[in-house]
Amino acid sequence: MKSLEISEVVKRSGLPASTLRYYESLGLIESSGRRGLKRLFNPSVLERLDIISLSRWAGFTLDEIGDWFGRDGRVAIDKAQLVQKADEVEARATQMRALSKIIRHTSQCPEENHLECDNFRKLMKIARRHRPTKEATTKVR
């Protein structure tokens, strides 16, 4: 299995080298060795970076994501915990769709003040029902 230099991983993953080093420092990825000082990466790192990016995008913290990866390079996370996460993400997706509807409606509503539009209020109510009660959510960028 060919090793990749960091520049190659940068090119293929789209992530800057600083981020890769940062992720490594957190234990989210690992380099397979060094040539001189230079890190070498196993190509499988690319798949892992995909999972990380996607999960970050969905609102998981690096901390949470880190928990998923065992020492041996396998995805190791408790089944029940995974199912719960899946539910969480799905609920979030549902709410996003509600918001999208609210926004789309807002763009077309003739009512001059949207707060006075019944349809708008109704959508808000639906969205509110799906709102996290406490502080379930995380950060994304």
Partner DNA sequence: GTGCCACTTAAAGCCAACTTGAGGTCAAGT
Partner DNA sequence: ACTTGACCTCAAGTTGGCTTTAAGTGGCAC
Per partner kind, with CB cut-offs from 5 to 8 A, the member of its own copies, DNA, none near residue 38 is DNA
Q: Which residues pair with 134 in a beta bridge?
A: none
* CB 38 within 8 Å of CB 3: no
CB 74 within 8 A of CB 44: no
3-state secondary structure of 104: helix
Residue number, 3 or 106, with CB nearest to DNA: 3
* Residue 112 binds which of its own copies, DNA, none (CB < 5-8 A, kind-dependent): its own copies
Helix or strand holding residue 35 (H, E) = strand 33-35
Binding site for its own copies (CB under 8 A): 44, 47-48, 50-51, 53-55, 57-59, 73-75, 77, 79, 82-83, 85-87, 89-90, 92-97, 99-104, 106-108, 112-115, 124, 127-128, 131-132, 135, 137-141
